[in-house]
């Protein structure tokens, strides 16, 4: 099903979206920590937050943060941040992680991974797979139900989440939660054409990010870079949440169609009047909180 579709040609912003874009412009020269602090203010309380490390695929220590929604054994979402495979952080996703944990009753393990261009494909993906293996080993001692692990992420993190699910298809993941993901490498889709110059993420920027992550140019034949090329049969139920005013909106539409054709239980929600990266902007943008509430309901099994 497709929920909440509006004609993108109107470019009508959701309440608060113009203010978010202005605030992002103000924060940009101040760096990630200033942005993370601003957007996390007022985030939901959760029962416990613990900073952890796991061993990455090359034996290196990688940071992770566990958000516990409640006492007792809980299912867990492995959450992979976005940032064009070359940036982003756990801290920049604090608000989303807290909201998902508080609303769903699941715990959320938000992870880091090696970044391009110093570490191009498949380094980041290999670290995500290492995180999943670590979670399966260590999760029970952390009070996590490792029989119910979902994988999710935002933007490039949604790409890595999908690639992790494809690479670990036999591991019996519970669900996929994918926010405005990068699933194809076709820069002429309707949303790429409509929003080539923004607002927010641009076509030129996406082309540059692909060149950092995939300097060998494998994306036209490698499904772990371009999941729309993959055999999607056997994946767990998926919820895709896209931003209407985003070059990547068509990627989510095409992935939802491909998942359904492969027999995967799939829902697609396109949030009207918002731009790429919106879910951590709930301080000013009610639509962000609403989208996270929808995502939490999917995890919890609410209709």
Question: What is the C-alpha separation between 53 and 131, in angstroms, rounded?
Answer: 10
- Catalytic annotation on 155? yes
Which of 69, 155, 191, 250 is catalytic? The answer is 155
Question: What is the C-alpha separation between 181 and 158, in angstroms, rounded?
Answer: 5
- Catalytic annotation on 214? no
Which of 246, 250, 252, 269 is catalytic? The answer is 246
Question: What is the C-alpha separation between 156 and 162, in angstroms, rounded?
Answer: 10
Question: What is the C-alpha separation between 131 and 74, in angstroms, rounded?
Answer: 18
Question: What is the C-alpha separation between 163 and 193, in angstroms, rounded?
Answer: 26
- Catalytic annotation on 276? yes
Which of 81, 119, 269, 276 is catalytic? The answer is 276
Residue-by-residue DSSP string for 159-182? HHHHHHHHHTGGG---EEEEES--
Question: What is the C-alpha separation between 7 and 200, in angstroms, rounded?
Answer: 18
In this structure, are residues 215 and 117 in contact, taking their beta carbons and an 8 Å threshold? yes
Active site residues: 155, 246, 276
């Amino acid at each position: 099903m497709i929920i909440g579709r509006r004609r993108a040609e109107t470019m009508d912003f959701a309440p608060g979206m113009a203010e978010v874009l202005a605030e992002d412009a103000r924060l940009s020269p101040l760096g990630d920590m200033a942005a993370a602090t601003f957007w996390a203010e007022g985030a939901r309380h959760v029962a416990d937050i613990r900073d952890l490390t796991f061993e990455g695929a090359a034996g290196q220590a990688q940071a992770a943060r566990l958000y516990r929604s409640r006492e007792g054994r809980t299912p867990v979402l492995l959450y992979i941040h976005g940032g064009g495979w070359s940036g982003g952080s756990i801290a920049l996703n604090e608000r989303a992680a807290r909201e998902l944990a508080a609303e769903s009753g699941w715990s959320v393990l938000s992870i880091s991974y090696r970044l391009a261009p110093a570490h191009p494909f498949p380094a980041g993906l290999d670290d995500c797979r290492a995180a999943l293996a670590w979670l399966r080993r260590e999760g029970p001692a952390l009070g996590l139900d490792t029989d119910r692990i979902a994988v999710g992420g935002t933007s490039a993190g949604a790409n890595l989440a999908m690639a992790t699910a494809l690479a670990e298809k036999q591991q019996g993941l519970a669900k996929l939660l994918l926010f405005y993901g990068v699933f194809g490498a076709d820069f002429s889709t309707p949303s790429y054409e409509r929003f080539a110059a923004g607002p927010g993420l641009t076509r030129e920027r996406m082309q540059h990010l692909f060149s950092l992550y995939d300097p060998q140019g494998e994306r036209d034949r490698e499904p772990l870079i371009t999941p729309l090329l993959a055999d999607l049969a056997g994946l767990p139920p998926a919820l895709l949440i896209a931003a209407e005013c985003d070059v990547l909106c068509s990627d989510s539409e095409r992935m939802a169609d491909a998942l359904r054709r492969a027999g995967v239980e799939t829902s697609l929600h396109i949030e009207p009047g918002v731009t790429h990266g919106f879910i951590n902007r709930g301080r000013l943008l009610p639509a962000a909180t609403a989208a996270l509430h929808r995502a939490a309901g999917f995890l919890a099994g609410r209709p």
